[in-house]
Amino acid sequence: MSVGTVFIVGAGPGDPGLLTVKALELVRTCDVLVYDNLMADECVALSRAAEKIYVGKGSGRHMMTQEAIGEILVDRARGGKTVVRLKGGDPFVFGRGGEECQTLGRASIPFVVVPGVTAGIAGPAYAGIPVTHRDMSRGVTLVTGHFSRDQEVELPWEALAGLGHTLVFYMAVAALERACSSLIQAGLAGDTPAALVEQATTGSQRTVTGTLSTIASLARERDVKPPALLVCGHVVDLQQELHWLPQLPLAGRSVLFTRAADRDYDAVDRLRALGAKVIDVPVVQLVARGDVGMDLASVEAVAFTSAAAVGFFFDLLARQGRDARALAGHVVAAATHTVASELERHGIAADLDLEVVRSLGLARALKAHGVGGPRRVLLPRSAAAGADLVTDLERAGLEPVTLVLYDTLPADLGWLEVKLAGRSPDAVVFLSGSGVAAVLAAVPALLDLERPPLWACVGRLSAQALESRGIVPDVLPTRPDVDMLVDDLVEKMGSQP
């Protein structure tokens, strides 16, 4: 077996729109994705890798040592896999990318470095702070804030203070007081403008401005948390004039979104578009069944209830040497906007009006469209799908034909506790009872938070699973519909300070 290649890829500071074209192509096509805690979940969701390995670190807690990460990269490459090591920002700017390349080189593993947009430039830019300016700063110096953890390392404070550059400290929160006091002692004026940029380039980005003398106390007052950048220099004064990032209604709010089977939800995109930081948690893995037979000629309609089912359905068509033309002459129904979007990606426009589906339900909407009994309706789905839709179709006089395309297996959520260390989500969304069990087993501390999140459940089954743990859902739509759930959640979150 030939040895695979490891791509050390910079993903940018958080906004997935800052991925380079080359990074996006590699993330989408790699066999193995290895990613860390600073990675935006949107970037991870873009990957169709067969294996995704979380190796993150958060608030002093490590999911995996640096040595273990290197062993994974070497092992998967020796297995002939194309591996993407996805790192926040730029892998060669305080990202330990150089160390990982050394490990690969010693093991004779070929590697490629794909630079990314570094947070020290992009974060201030999103805050309206240009790190260089002809009249204020002819240079910028990037500095690590991790010096405080190594008592044997001391920065050249006098040199930094005398440069006349904009100074940008990465990972600045832990070392903030020491950095500010050291710069002042080295001769930098205490009234030098300073800013902290928290959660740079994400919907939760927040900027706190002050001076070298005041920024540490302001950070305590405003409860600034990592990751955050410290920017020192007169360019900070331009922030009020050049601030361009719109203030979104859910900016600064975080939502833990657990999902049962679908790979993607447009509901997640909606929350992110409103400024929320969404932690996307797939609680199951989807595994295709290989021995599936399908006779489209025997049915009049095909009803899709999940985007995952659409993907597996077209995979099955491809294995049979067919494509979207096989659905010619059939009524194609989509249960949600997410499903309709996935069908469009495969060249199919759903026949049923989605607003009608939303108001009537799928079974009654099919009848309203003219699919009357005893018509046969194919239901491509998971082995774990419930029986409610089957019952509804039978009551409507239709004959449902289930087509089990894939199985759902529990996902490993060991990474989630590290991801949430030191952070409390503002809302938690559950789409299934199994999701409730899986997440609360992985992060039991969610039940004991001083400021509990809003608990949102899509239907009675997930609500009952939550209530069995002594929690009454704050959000429960009148009908089990993800879009309605998000509508109600946004309204609820928007009414809270």
Both structure tokens of 66 = 């640096």
Give the whole-angstrom CA distance, residue 195 versus residue 215: 7
β strands within 297-375, DSSP E: 301-304, 331-334
Closest Cα to residue 120, out of 138, 100, 140? 140
94: left (phi over 0), alpha (psi -120 to 50) or beta: left
Exactly one of 15, 31, 52, 57 is catalytic; which is it? 57
Determine the Cα–Cα distance for residues 426 and 220; give it in Å rounded to an integer. Answer: 20
Residues in contact with 481: Cβ distance below 8 Å, sequence separation at least 6, in sequence order: 336, 358, 458
Structure tokens at 323: 């494509």
Q: Which of 15, 36, 474, 481 is catalytic?
A: 36
**Could you report how far apart the first and last alpha carbons of the chain are, in Å?**
58
- Closest by CA to 404, choosing from 263, 290, 280, is 290
* 57 catalytic residue (yes or no): yes
Distances (CA, A) of 22 to 27, 92, 262, 356, 462: 9, 17, 27, 41, 40
Catalytic residues: 36, 57
